[in-house]
């Protein structure tokens, strides 16, 4: 009897210790979401847990778009886009997708957008090349200012606020929901742009929600300002709508099935 009570007490102590450890590790990661605590691209900032995304919900739509969406790429041509210098799009169109043409510069929409729901599908190169930021790097720039990082972050490490699904240099994703190189991945983004008054005073910051492969990776985060490399620049007055752009980071990242709904 005494032995049974003793082993029950031991089990209880173990459970309490385990619960305390789990709480500690969760709060450690919660701290990683706290903007004030971390330097930009801090290599010591904790990485989000790695998960395997499911299927269904907001997954690949295989060319089917909501009836009220503006289709920005339907698998055939880049007529809705242009390259730097306002010249026809230089990126390569393949069978149902297009690909970054290295060193041709940013690809930008002809139309300007502000508050929106945006669907983008992308795939990093297979076989992969390089490491860290030099591996399947591109990016979706809302209003040309706020980058949702596109990167091969499948079993490949970089600083947490620069991995796939990050609001670059500001917020790591809540989890790493990446698929392997070469596989199509989805971003479903809800974006509310910044607002300024007539004198250029900031009235509200930009807010961003992102689902990667159907999994929430950014939960209505407030951008500190435009995203940048090794910098967190402040807001400066901009119009309510600006063109959307995709980053040329010299890597042959592919895109397909891009549509947008204005809010
Ligand atoms: Mg990038």
Residues 9 and 99 in one domain: no
Q: Is residue 55 included in any domain, yes or no?
A: no
Residues 21 and 102 in one domain: no
Measured in Å, residue 182 CA sits from the centre of ligand 1 at: 17
Q: Is residue 219 included in any domain, yes or no?
A: yes
Q: Is residue 47 included in any domain, yes or no?
A: no
Q: What pLDDT is recorded for position 57?
A: 45
Q: What pLDDT is recorded for position 1?
A: 46
Q: What pLDDT is recorded for position 33?
A: 64
Measured in Å, residue 40 CA sits from the centre of ligand 1 at: 15
Highest mean pLDDT among 17-21, 27-31, 233-237: 233-237
Measured in Å, residue 134 CA sits from the centre of ligand 1 at: 9
- Give whole-number Cα distances, 25 to 46, 166, 231, in Å: 10, 21, 28
* Cβ pair 177, 213 in contact under 8 A: yes
Instruction: Report residues near ion ligand 1: CB below 5 Å.
Output: 137, 139, 247
Residues 26 and 112 in one domain: no
CATH code for the domain of 143: 2.60.120.560
Q: Is residue 101 included in any domain, yes or no?
A: yes
Measured in Å, residue 3 CA sits from the centre of ligand 1 at: 60
Q: Is residue 42 included in any domain, yes or no?
A: no
Measured in Å, residue 10 CA sits from the centre of ligand 1 at: 51
Q: Express each pLDDT in 69-125 by its tens digit.
A: 999 998 999 999 999 999 999 999 999 999 999 999 999 999 999 999 999 999 999
Residues 97 and 32 in one domain: no
Q: How many domains does the chain have?
A: 2
Q: What pLDDT is recorded for position 37?
A: 85
Measured in Å, residue 55 CA sits from the centre of ligand 1 at: 25
Mean of the pLDDT values across residues 223-244?
98
Residues 181 and 115 in one domain: yes
Q: Is residue 46 included in any domain, yes or no?
A: no
Residues 146 and 19 in one domain: no
**55-59, 213-217, 246-250: segment of lowest average pLDDT:** 55-59
Report the C-alpha gap between 185 and 135 in whole angstroms.
16
Residues 208 and 88 in one domain: yes
Q: Is residue 153 included in any domain, yes or no?
A: yes
Helices and strands (H, E) in the chain, number of each type: 1, 16
Residues 142 and 191 in one domain: yes
Measured in Å, residue 248 CA sits from the centre of ligand 1 at: 8
The kind and range of the H/E element at 190 are strand 185-192
Q: What pLDDT is recorded for position 161?
A: 98
Mean pLDDT, the chain, whole residue set = 90
Quickly list DSSP for 81-104: EEETTTEE--SEE-SS-EE--TTS
Measured in Å, residue 247 CA sits from the centre of ligand 1 at: 6
User: Residue 30: phi, psi to the nearest 5?
Assistant: -60, -35
Residues 16 and 141 in one domain: no
Q: What pLDDT is recorded for position 30?
A: 57
Measured in Å, residue 135 CA sits from the centre of ligand 1 at: 10
Residues 174 and 256 in one domain: yes
Residues 150 and 29 in one domain: no
Per the structure, the complete domain to which residue 199 belongs is given by 70-262
Q: Is residue 61 included in any domain, yes or no?
A: no
**50-64, 148-162, 182-196: segment of lowest average pLDDT:** 50-64
High-pLDDT (> 70) share of the chain, %? 84
Residues 10 and 106 in one domain: no
Among 190, 165, 166, which residue's Cα sits nearest to residue 179? 165
Please tell me whether the overall predicted TM-score, pTM, comes out greater than 0.75 for this model. yes
Q: Express each pLDDT in 25-77 by its tens digit.
A: 545 555 566 777 899 999 999 999 998 887 654 455 555 788 899 999 989 99
């Amino acid at each position: 009897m005494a032995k049974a009570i003793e082993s029950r007490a031991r089990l209880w102590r173990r459970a309490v210790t385990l619960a305390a450890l789990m709480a500690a590790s969760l709060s450690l990661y919660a701290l990683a979401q706290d903007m004030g605590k971390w330097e930009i691209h801090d290599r010591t900032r904790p990485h989000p847990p790695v998960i395997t995304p499911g299927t269904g919900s907001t997954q690949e739509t295989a060319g089917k778009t909501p009836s009220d969406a503006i289709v920005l790429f339907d698998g055939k041509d880049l007529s809705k886009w242009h390259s730097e210098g306002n010249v026809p799009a230089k990126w390569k169109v393949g069978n149902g997708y297009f690909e970054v043409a290295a060193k041709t510069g940013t690809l930008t929409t002809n139309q300007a957008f502000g508050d929106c729901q945006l669907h983008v599908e992308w795939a990093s190169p297979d076989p992969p090349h390089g490491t860290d930021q030099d591996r399947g790097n591109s990016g979706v720039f809302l209003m040309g200012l706020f980058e949702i990082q596109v990167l091969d972050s499948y079993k490949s490490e970089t600083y947490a606020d620069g991995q796939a699904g990050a609001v670059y240099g500001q917020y790591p994703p809540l989890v790493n929901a990446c698929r392997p190189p070469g596989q199509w991945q989805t971003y479903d983004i809800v974006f509310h742009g910044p607002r300024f008054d007539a004198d250029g005073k900031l009235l509200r910051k930009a807010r961003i929600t992102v689902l990667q492969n159907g999994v929430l990776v950014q939960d209505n985060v407030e951008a500190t300002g435009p995203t940048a490399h090794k910098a967190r620049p402040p807001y400066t007055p901009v119009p309510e709508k600006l063109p959307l752009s995709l980053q040329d980071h010299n890597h042959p990242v592919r895109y397909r099935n891009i549509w947008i709904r204005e809010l």
